[in-house]
Amino acid sequence: MVQLMSVPEVAAGASEVLLAEWSVATGAEVSRGDVIAVAETDKAVVEVEAEFDGVVVGLLAQVGERVDVGAPLMLVGTGADLDRELAALLAEVGVSAPAAEPAAPAEPVVEPAAESARRFASPLARRLIEEAGLDLADITGTGPRGRVRKRDVERALADRAPAPAPAATTTSAPVPAPAPAPAAAAVAPAAPASGLSIEPHSRLRRSVAARLTQAKQEIPHFYLTRSARIDDLLALRAQVNEHAPVRVSVNDLVLRAVAVAHRAVPEANVVWSEEGMVQHTSVDVAVAVASERGLVTPVVRGVDQLSLSGLARQVGDYVGQANAGRLQQRDLEGGTITVTNLGMYGVEEFSAIINPPHSAILAVGAARPEPVVEGEPGEQRIEIRTVLRLVLSVDHRAIDGALAARWMASLVEALERPMTLLV
């Protein structure tokens, strides 16, 4: 029996994907859950998994093609189906218009005696290799049977010394541009003396720009600023890291404090929708990751239920997956709030744009020693304390000012009394 696999919705709200790479060829045996292709979405590069067990009897999309979500992607059947006409197979699964099957991934032509030296590579990887002037034999493949994939070429490019050609003429970008360069590029100054060059936007960069522009235009933002004295928090972190299997960062502790605040003020764990307010019971927090491919916000599930080392491990895994382009749809969905941290760059304070559909985003600055007033009235004194500045951007449709202020008070209390993060 032939089964049709359609293009899955690999990112929430995505209407199409760019097929970046096939990981299988016609005639290959696949099992449910095997990676069959790599697709680019507006948010990430995602591995597409097989939905059925069987033999690949038809690939219905070309590498580099934009394919609508729900469109036919692949036919899975038995070995006997390989001898049948593609049009008949498509008719069997209810697809009336026959589609031309893309050629199987090309392999280098070799003499039989050289079979052991054959190198396999995906079509996209071959194109990138040719454009970059690399030698396939010099690249180590990480795919099945040592197959060279896009990420292997990217790694080779990263290890290679920068080419002497001007940036404007470089053609070895790791991700192919899905559309022609903007019209402005055609009239941009091209003379080297001008000191100008144009690097085409990636799909991820365009998506981030469009999403945040829409958020700023449609979401009524307001902002709350608080400071937290975190000397006790830093002392607790030092003690935890003496025994934790995974190093815990200040940002990990902030994530846990956000979960504590959500438990204390559950009315803030909501998302606005036109139909009504969506109340979340699980504390799922997105963390902004400035990956090598662009800004992404994977969501950590059940932050209040994880140990500190488990939380740190999950965040570290997401960073690695984001850099490798391996985030899945489920990793980017859910939650009501994002945490973004620029403290490691020395930024003391900033406000961030809410990441739809979330109702808030917490901007975390650098922790700095500052003079603060301690003690009761009449016995006050100035002491040096480590101060962390926090700015909460809030969707006024979902959360009012007083509610946001209560939430911020709970957050600061959790940071200044860090033992509450352990219970």
Catalytic residues, by residue number, are 396
Q: Which two tokens stand for residue 66?
A: 């934009």
Buried b (16+ CB within 10 A) or exposed e, 109-144: eeeeeeeeeebbbbbbbbbbbeebebebeebebebe
Query: Which tokens is 75 given?
Result: 């036919």
Q: What are the residues facing 386 on neighbouring strands?
A: 369
Give yes or no for a contact between 386 and 351, defined as CB atoms under 8 angstroms apart.
no
Read off φ and ψ for residue 339, nearest 5 degrees.
Answer: -110, 125
Nearest one of 384, 365, 364 to 373, comparing CA atoms:
384
> Would strands 285-287 and 299-300 be described as parallel, antiparallel, or unpaired?
antiparallel
Nearest 5°: phi and psi at 15? Answer: -100, -15
- Please report the sign of the dihedral spanned by the C-alpha atoms of residue 121, residue 124, residue 128, residue 130: positive
Dig out the tokens for 15 from the structure. 């209407």
b or e along 65-91 (b: 16 or more beta carbons within 10 Å of the residue's beta carbon)?
A: eebebebbbbbbbeeebeeeebeebbe
d(CA 228, CA 222): 20
Tell me, rounded to whole angstroms, the distance of Cα 171 from its chain centroid.
24
Helix boundaries (H) for 95-190: 123-132, 150-159, 183-187
User: Which H or E run includes 254?
Assistant: helix 250-264
Distance CA(395)–CA(406), nearest Å, equals 15
Structural tokens at position 23: 């990981």
